[in-house]
Structure 1
C-alpha cells in the first residue's frame, strides 16, 4: 500500500447533501473526517426539492431545522398541481403530506426548498475539512484501514494519499467508488435523458394565488426555486440538445400566446437512473445516498433516503471508532437500509412511469385537437398516494442484529422492476413502539418531543427510572428519560417497562414490564452494538 500523506478516521467521498450531512453527524460524535468532492464547489442547480419530515427530524437533532425552514417556502407550497401548460386551466391539485401542514406524528414539518440553498447550510454546519476539486482515483484496502489516492485538479492534478479507517461513499449514481469495488446494481436502470432549465419570469398572475412546489404540465414540470424568485422547468431532453431552441421549448410549456417573457439562465442535462446497489458494504467501504440507490425524482424520495442512510450509519461508525461498539455493528447497515432502498425504488419507479405516461398521453391529446375534456375526465399524473407516503417516510422498520425482538424476518430488497402500484404500506403510517421502528413522537413537555431526547447516546424511556437505575450501562453512552404513565401505556409498556432507543431514534429493545434480570440492559446494549463479551 502507498504511504499516506494524511490520516483520518472517515473519508467521505461526495459533497452533496448526503455527504455533507454525514460530515455534520460524525463531527457531532467527535469523529475526525475529511470530505472530498470532485467538482470545484457546491451544486449551482436546484436539483432535489423536498426535505421531508423525517429528514427535518434529523436536522432538528443537528440544530439545523429552524434555519433550513426559515429559508424555505411557506407550507402552502406543499402542493402539486396539474395543467396543460403553466398558464392554462388547472385540472387538479393534491397536498404533500407532512409538508403542506403540520402532522400529529412529528414535531416538525417537511419543507420545499432547493438543493443549492440547502447545501450551503449543511457545509456551514461542521468545521471538518472539505476539499473541492479533488477526485478519488484509487483505493487500496488493508486489514486495518483504506488508503485512497486523490487527484487535486486545482493544483495541476497533484496526487496525494489519505489513510482512513473507513470510507463513506456518497458520490452519486455513477459512483466511482462503487465501480472500483466491483459492486453491481439491480433495477430498471436509465429511464431517460432529462434536462433542467433555470429561468426568470413573472408568473405571479398564474401562480401567486395557487402556490405549489411542483406544477405538472403536459410539456414537463415547473418548480419555483426560492421564495424571492426564480423558476426551473424539467422535461425530457430533445434529440439534439446542443442545438435545441430552449426559449421556444420553454414558451410552449408555459403557454404560447400568453405574453410570458422568460429569460433562460442555464441548462443542465442528466440521466434519470433507477437502480439499487447489490450490496452497501465491502469491508471498510460503505455506500450511501445515490451511490447506494439512485431513484427517480418523481416523489421526492431520493435525497431523503440518502439522509436516512447516513443517520443510520454514522452512530455505528462512531461506536466502532470510539470503542463502545464492535466492528460487527456495521453488519447491520446493509440489512436495515437495503430493503428500504428497494422499497423506495419500487415506489418512485411506479410514480415516474405513471407521470410520464399520463403527461405523454395528454400531450398527444392536446396536439390532436380532440374533444375538450372536463377537468374530472382528465387522467392525473399521480396516484392517490403519490405524495402521501408517510408509511415510507416515518414507518420504516429495521430487522437486523442491532434490533432485539423485532417481529418477522428482514424483507427482501425490491429492485423496482415490478409494476405493482399498491402503495398502502407506503402511504399508511400507524405509530408503533415495536423494536426496529422509529420511536413515535410524543410530547414530553409543551415543546419537547421524545425525538428531542435522542442524540449521541442511547436513551432508556421508562415511567419508572428508579427501578432501571440499578441496571448497569457499562461503557455505553446512555441517558434515562422519564415517560408519563399515559405515554408508557401508548408504547405498550406497564408502569415498570422500558424502551431502549438507539441514537438514530429507532427502538433497539423493549421490555413490557420489569427487567428480566440484573444484566438485561447491559446485555441488550452489548447485543445491539456487537460489543465483545467480557
Structure 2
C-alpha cells in the first residue's frame, strides 16, 4: 500500500481531459469541490471527433452559463441536417433533420448545435479555474484505509478513506502521487482506470476500424445552397468541420492505409464534378467500439463517458450520454464531500445511468448498421444498363435524429427518487424507463427530467436549477416553514398556469434534484407538523441517503 504522504490532496481527481472530464470539472467547481484534472496527452485533441451537442447537453451547458459561447462558435441551425448523395457533387437522394438542432423545439429552452469537439473543448477549459495537468498519465490506483499513523490492520477493518493515484509525467517519466477522496475516470474507451480496477465490458465490442481524414478544400459550390452537418455518400461521410472552413472524410480504414494516397482518395470520393484539390492535414485511425462496462466503478473510483460505455457515433449519442453521466454524478459527489449526503447516494449513479447507456448503445448500434450499407447497396442493386433513380429512400424515417425520447425522456428509478412523498422508487433492472427513441411526452412524474415551461420571456423553469435542490410550488409560504438545513434548497414560486403540466394542485410542490430530475412530488400542501417525518426535511434526508435523525455537517 502506498505511504500516506501523497504529494497532493484533492477532493476529486478527474482522469481524462475530453468533454466529459472537462464538464465534470466545471460542475464540481460550481459546488466548491477541490478538483485536479490530469490528461495523458500533452494538449487538447486537434481532431474534430464528436460533433453533435444535443439539446439536453445544451441545457446542461446553459446551466453552466456556456450555451451562448458554444453556439457562437458552432454552425448555424440549418446545418442540423443529414443529406444522402451518391457523391458530394450529386443531388440529394434523401435528407433527414436533426430535431432539436435544426430549429428550436417547444420542449426545451435550448437548441442543440453542430460543432467540433476541438472547438468545444477550449470553451470547457475556460469554464473553470481548477488545475489541469497535461502530459500526466495514470499508472496506479490504491485505496487508503484508516487514518495517518493508524496500523494497517486497524485501518483496513474500516472502509477506505481515500484513493492514492500514481501518476507519471510524460515525457520525463517522473512519478508522483495524488491522494483524492474520489476519482472520476473519464479517460476514454481504452480507460486505464477501468483496466486497473479489473472491470470488464459487455456488448458487441469492436464494430469496425475507421479512418478520419481532415482536409481543406473550397466545397461551397456543392454544399452552400444545401447545408448539412453530414453528407452521407456511397464513398464515405463528408462533414464540414468549422463554419469558416475545413472538412473531414470518414471511411472504413483501407487495407494498405500506411501507403494510401489520401488526397487522391478524397478527390475520388468527392466526385468527378468537383474540380478542387484536397489539402490533407491530418489522418487518424480509430476503432468504433460498442460496449458497456460490467460496473460503473469500484470503491471510490467511478467511471463516466466512454470509460463506462463506448457508443458508436451514428446518431450523435456518445459524448452526450457522457455529459449526462457527470451531470448525474457531480452533485452526488459534492453532497458526499460536503457532508449533506451519505456515501450510499453514490450507488444510485450506476443504478440510474447504466440502463440509460444500454438503451443508447442499442439505438446507436442499429443506427450504425443502417447507415453503412445504404448507398453502396443502392448501386449494387441496379442493372448494369440502368441509371440510378433521382431519389432513394433514406435508411431511416425523417425522425431518425428526432431521438427526443432518448435525449429528454430518460427517467430514473433508484433510492434518489421518491415515488410519492416518502417511498423510494424501485431501482430499475435494465429498463431505462425512457420514452421510446423518437417520442417524448413531457411529464413531471418523479424520476423524469423537469419539463420546460417559460416563467418569463427568457427564463425557463430549467433556469431555476443550480447548485441546490429546487422546490417549485404555487404556494411558497406553505413550504418555506419546513427546516431544510443542511441541504441546499431554493424555493421557486410556480405560476398557477403551469400546475396542470406538473401534476400538482394550488398548494402542491415538486422537489427537483440539481441535475434537473424530479426527486419527489406532492400534489397538495404538506401534511402534519413541519418538523415531522412526513415533511420536506425527511424527503431530502431519504433522497440523499442521510439519516434524518442524525446531524449532517457540511
Deviation at 1:364, TM superposition (A): 3.8
Distance 2:280 2:329 in 1: 41
Unaligned runs of 5+ in 2: 145-159, 550-554
Residue equivalent to 2:228: 212
Whether contact under 8 Å (1:346, 1:414) holds in the other structure is: no
Distance 1:262 1:371 in 2: 31
- 467-476 or 210-219: which moved more? 467-476
What TM-score do you get using the length of structure 2 for normalisation?
0.92
Equivalent of residue 469 in structure 2, options 429, 452, 458:
458
Distance 1:191 1:431 in 2: 35
Residue equivalent to 1:479: 490
Q: Is 1:148 paired with 2:165?
A: yes
Pick closer, same or farther for the CA change 1:144–1:363 going to 2, 3 Å.
farther
Deviation by residue 1:261-305 (Cα, 9 ceiling, x = unmatched): 211111001000000111112110100000011011110000000
1:223-262 counterparts in 2 under 5 A?
A: 223-262=239-278
- 380-389 or 111-120: which moved more? 380-389
Residue equivalent to 2:18: 16
Whether contact under 8 Å (1:351, 1:383) holds in the other structure is: no
Q: Is 1:521 paired with 2:531?
A: no
Residue equivalent to 1:41: 43
1:368-383 counterparts in 2 under 5 A?
A: 369=384, 371-376=386-391, 378-383=392-397
Give secondary structure in 2 for the equivalent of 1:97.
coil
Deviation at 1:88, TM superposition (A): 1.2
Deviation at 1:382, TM superposition (A): 3.4
Residue equivalent to 1:418: none
Residue equivalent to 1:419: none
Deviation at 1:365, TM superposition (A): 5.0
Residue equivalent to 1:167: 183
Deviation at 1:127, TM superposition (A): 0.8
Give secondary structure in 2 for the equivalent of 1:452.
helix
Distance 1:185 1:318 in 2: 28
Give secondary structure in 1 for the equivalent of 2:372.
helix
Distance 2:281 2:108 in 1: 38
Q: Is 1:390 paired with 2:404?
A: yes
Distance 2:443 2:9 in 1: 43
Q: Is 1:288 paired with 2:308?
A: no
Pick closer, same or farther for the CA change 1:363–1:285 going to 2, 3 Å.
farther
Distance 1:110 1:321 in 2: 32
Distance 1:424 1:13 in 2: 32
Equivalent of residue 87 in structure 1, options 89, 109, 113:
89
Residue equivalent to 2:111: 109
Whether contact under 8 Å (2:419, 2:425) holds in the other structure is: no
Whether contact under 8 Å (2:23, 2:323) holds in the other structure is: yes
Distance 1:380 1:484 in 2: 44
Pick closer, same or farther for the CA change 1:186–1:153 going to 2, 3 Å.
same
Pick closer, same or farther for the CA change 1:424–1:477 going to 2, 3 Å.
closer
Distance 1:373 1:483 in 2: 58
Q: Is 1:346 paired with 2:362?
A: yes
Equivalent of residue 96 in structure 1, options 88, 95, 98:
98
Deviation at 1:497, TM superposition (A): 0.4
Distance 1:413 1:291 in 2: 19
Deviation by residue 1:26-73 (Cα, 9 ceiling, x = unmatched): 001000111011111100000000001110111111111001101100
Give secondary structure in 1 for the equivalent of 2:355.
helix
1:424-503 counterparts in 2 under 5 A?
A: 425-503=436-514
Equivalent of residue 55 in structure 2, options 53, 59, 69:
53
Deviation by residue 1:477-500 (Cα, 9 ceiling, x = unmatched): 001000111111221111010000
Give secondary structure in 1 for the equivalent of 2:26.
helix
Residue equivalent to 2:547: 532
Deviation at 1:373, TM superposition (A): 3.4
Whether contact under 8 Å (1:219, 1:363) holds in the other structure is: no
Residue equivalent to 2:415: 401
What TM-score do you get using the length of structure 1 for normalisation?
0.95
Whether contact under 8 Å (1:92, 1:375) holds in the other structure is: no
Distance 2:286 2:397 in 1: 25
Pick closer, same or farther for the CA change 1:384–1:93 going to 2, 3 Å.
closer
Deviation by residue 1:225-251 (Cα, 9 ceiling, x = unmatched): 111111101110001210112112211
Residue equivalent to 2:522: 511
Deviation at 1:386, TM superposition (A): 2.0
1:104-143 counterparts in 2 under 5 A?
A: 104-142=106-144, 143=160
Distance 2:396 2:271 in 1: 22
- 249-258 or 49-58: which moved more? 249-258
1:319-330 counterparts in 2 under 5 A?
A: 319-330=335-346
RMSD of the TM alignment (CA)?
1.7
Distance 1:286 1:217 in 2: 40
Pick closer, same or farther for the CA change 1:263–1:483 going to 2, 3 Å.
same
Give secondary structure in 2 for the equivalent of 1:386.
helix
Give secondary structure in 2 for the equivalent of 1:191.
strand
Q: What is the total number of aligned residue pairs between the two structures?
A: 524
Distance 2:490 2:92 in 1: 53
- 245-254 or 355-364: which moved more? 355-364
Distance 2:348 2:375 in 1: 41
Residue equivalent to 1:413: 430
Pick closer, same or farther for the CA change 1:80–1:277 going to 2, 3 Å.
same
Deviation by residue 1:178-204 (Cα, 9 ceiling, x = unmatched): 111111111111011001000011111
Distance 1:79 1:139 in 2: 44
Deviation at 1:371, TM superposition (A): 2.1
